[in-house]
Amino acid sequence: MNIALWVVQGLAALGFLYSGWMKAFQYEKAKASWHWVSDVPKGFVSFIGIVELVGAVGLILPQALNIAPVLTPLAATGVAVIVLLGALFHVQRKEYKEIGVNIVFLVLALIVAIGRF
């Protein structure tokens, strides 16, 4: 079970690192990739990206270093909330194709949160 959780944590962390990096540091590339970015203030997009980056780090480091490992499921819960809010945002905008990615990362984050609590 521990190995499976590490695999899920790694996949989730990689996804959040990619998404967070684009939102936080490559705004123009994010705007070209995701249509919703154009309709949201740049500062808010950057904030979401930074939160995702911190969440990605929180999914791995506390558990890996055995320093406050309770932070790992808390980080997973945090990114699950972010992804859920993103899915609701896409529903509101009727961007139903975008919700699939949200669901995948929501499930990954919830698996980590439940498995590590």
User: What span, in angstroms and rounded, lies between the C-alpha atoms of 6 and 60?
Assistant: 8
Give the torsion sign (CA, 41, 42, 47, 48). positive
Query: From first to last of its 117 residues, what are the pLDDT tens digits of the chain?
Result: 889 999 999 999 999 999 999 999 999 999 999 989 999 999 999 999 999 999 999 999 999 999 999 999 999 999 999 999 999 999 999 988 889 999 999 999 999 999 999
pLDDT of the residue at 97: 87
Neighbours of 100 (CB within 10 A): 11
DSSP state of 67: S
The two three-digit tokens of residue 22, written as one number: 């684009």
Q: Which run of H or E residues covers position 50?
A: helix 42-65
pLDDT of the residue at 79: 97
pLDDT of the residue at 1: 85
pTM of the model: 0.91
User: What span, in angstroms and rounded, lies between the C-alpha atoms of 29 and 55?
Assistant: 21
The two three-digit tokens of residue 93, written as one number: 């905008």
Instruction: Identify which of 6, 4, 102, 18 has the alpha carbon closest to the alpha carbon of residue 55.
Output: 18
